[in-house]
Amino acid sequence: MPHTTSPRSAPLHADDWRICVAPMMDWTDRHCRYFHRLLSPRARLYTEMVTSAALVRGKQLRLLEHSQQEHPLALQLGGSDPRELAQAARLGAEAGYDEINLNVGCPSDRVQSGRFGACLMREPALVGDCVKAMRDAVNVPVTVKCRIGVDDQDDYAGLQHFTELMLEAGVEVLAVHARKAWLQGLSPKENREIPPLDYERVYRLKCEFPQLVVVINGGITTVEHVQEHLARLDGVMLGRAAYHDPYLLAQIEAALYGEPQPPREDVLCRMRPYVEAELARGTALKHISRHLLGLYQGEPGARAFRRTISEGAHLPGAGWALLEQAAAPRSVAA
């Protein structure tokens, strides 16, 4: 039965967004998220973007699959139809997600052709309508992930106006990628690297809208970067750094919460029940192991670890023994 409980009954806690792992297409699937959870008990994890059309019109509810161990967990939706997004948000909440996030930051051509992602920053009133509809449909937080601007919209006033409309719509958490997006002329990869970072613009946003939980994203690669941003903002969202060097998540937990860092070998061993259960379900090892390749990033033997997995995971019958084999000879420098 649909549940329309707006405003939400539970209070929001800014600390819940202190550390987040960004939604990343083709990367943050359920296998990746399970692995990241072992490294960081407190991080807020995000799904890959799921389009509202896939859930509502395509009935692809398999896209909502996740394990209970992944929580706190947010579902990121892409779309621009308020009614359809409300239905998709409801499906996500009923599937157990702790947050529904609207993508207003992806610059890919495919996303633009569907009239969602970063191009929606040009239509803040429509985004507000989408948020209102989603909030009316669920009793979990509805949040927005955006850029600081798009194309020639490169002044603080545009971001300020966008934020004002988000607040009017009921948004309490805004994740801001501190780069603008070029909708024409740059690939999604280039849009993550070429437009310059402007952290000061995000800091100013927090100062002018102190009631808003502001999470910063973009170019954050070290524990020191995280600590610097948290001195001025409510949360930090890591993207590629958390994927390519996942042990960074454990290092952040240690720095912020005093948690002892688990040995990498222990983290890998704790993946074994999950891997074996997934293999028994028919999941190929390569779909899980690709997310583990960076576990020993910067450590002796890291290259050999990656090579053993990359060369063997796709072979018929590949299983847990391959991961043990990959980790065994790490005392030999790659």
Bridging pattern class, strands 235-238 and 19-21: parallel
Question: Nearest to residue 229, comparing CAs of 240, 242, 215?
Answer: 215
What is the C-alpha to C-alpha distance for residues 301 and 326, in angstroms, rounded to an integer?
9
Is 106 annotated in the active site? yes
Stated as kind and residue range, the H or E segment containing 308 is helix 302-312
What is the C-alpha to C-alpha distance for residues 266 and 171, in angstroms, rounded to an integer?
39
Is residue 325 annotated as involved in ligand binding? no
Q: Show the beta-strand stretches assigned E in 28-187.
A: 44-46, 50-51, 73-78, 99-104, 142-147, 173-177
Cβ neighbours of residue 268 closer than 8 Å, sequence gap 6 or more:
292, 295, 323, 327
What is the C-alpha to C-alpha distance for residues 47 and 97, in angstroms, rounded to an integer?
10
Retrieve residue 14's tokens: 């800014």
Question: Nearest to residue 153, comparing CAs of 199, 125, 189, 118?
Answer: 118
Is residue 237 annotated as involved in ligand binding? no
Is residue 219 annotated as involved in ligand binding? yes
What is the C-alpha to C-alpha distance for residues 277 and 279, in angstroms, rounded to an integer?
5
Q: Which of 20, 106, 119, 146 does the annotation list as catalytic?
A: 106
Question: Nearest to residue 176, comparing CAs of 229, 138, 110, 109?
Answer: 229
State how far the alpha carbon of 77 is from the alpha carbons of 38, 111, 190, 270, in Å: 25, 12, 23, 30
Is residue 25 annotated as involved in ligand binding? yes
Chain CA centroid to CA 63, Å? 15
Is residue 62 annotated as involved in ligand binding? no
What is the C-alpha to C-alpha distance for residues 171 and 168, in angstroms, rounded to an integer?
7
Bridging pattern class, strands 173-177 and 142-147: parallel
Is residue 189 annotated as involved in ligand binding? no
Is residue 217 annotated as involved in ligand binding? yes
What residue numbers does the annotated binding site for FMN cover? 23-25, 76, 145, 177, 217-219, 239-240
| Binding-site positions | 23-25, 76, 145, 177, 217-219, 239-240
Catalytic residues: 106
